[in-house]
Structure formats: structure tokens, C-alpha cells
Copies of this chain bind each other. A is one copy, B any other.
Amino acid sequence: MTSEALARALNTNPVVVRRLMGGLREHGYVHSEKGHGGGWTLSCQLDRVTLRDIYEALDAPRLFAIGNRSEKTECLVEEAVNDAMSGVLADVTAQLLARFGQITLAALHAAFHQRLAACHAPATLCK
């Protein structure tokens, strides 16, 4: 599938698709082919890749909207608060990633097909 086609399906831009897919390619989840007839092909088993893998392949972008303002501080109050919060955030992050690590693409694929069957729609890419 071409970046162009994916972009249409995702309501975005081919370049954005390439940016994202680049991370996946580096980890061997997809393969890309240049030139005429080129594009993206899947190169992994769907049951062996999880949301966590995807997240990490995408360079582990920030998960939380909250967090320390600065890594270092002179302020002992800020330091105490940062300490208390970052402990919690670290634990929660670990749990989130563990949960994501249990959601395989195969599971999502199945969930999609279940929805598809339920609404009697033809199987096309959305949009």
C-alpha cells in the first residue's frame, strides 16, 4: 500500500504517514519499497506485535501531560513534590506499558472484524 493511499484512509498527509511508518520499518514490522509499484508491506506476525511495540517503535513519545517542569531544581519544595510524583508516574507508566504489551495487533484485527460483521458493512478501509 502506498503512503498516499494510507494517508487518504487516515485523513492525513503522505509525509506524516512516512514519518510514522519509518519507525515501524526500523523495527522490522513493515517493509518499504521505492519506485513504481512500491509502497508499504507488512513484515511481521500480527500476533507477535503489541501496542507497546508500536509505541516504542514510534520512539516512545511522551505519555503524560503532567510531570516535572524541570529535571533539576534548587527548590527543595519542588524537589519533594517531584519526588513524590515521579514515583507514582513511573509506576503507572510501567503498568500502562505492561497492559499495552498484552494487546496484540492480532487482537485488534479480530476486534475490527467482529465490528465489521456486526454492522454488515463491506470490508473496505474506512473513508
Q: DSSP class of A's interface residues: helix, strand, loop or mixed?
A: helix
A85, B51: Cβ atoms under 8 Å?
yes
User: Which of A18-26, A38-46, A60-68 contacts its partner?
Assistant: A60-68
- Asked, given contacts A64-B64, A85-B51, A96-B88, whether A78 binds B126 with beta carbons under 8 Å apart, the answer is yes
Interface flag for A71 (CB, 8 Å): no
A96, B92: Cβ atoms under 8 Å?
yes
**1/0 per residue A76-100: CB within 8 Å of B?**
1111110111001101100110011
A73 proximity list for chain B (CB < 8 A): 126
Please list the residues of chain A having a beta carbon within 8 angstroms of any beta carbon in chain B: 51, 61-66, 73-81, 83-85, 88-89, 91-92, 95-96, 99-100, 103, 107-108, 111-112, 115-116, 119, 121, 125-127
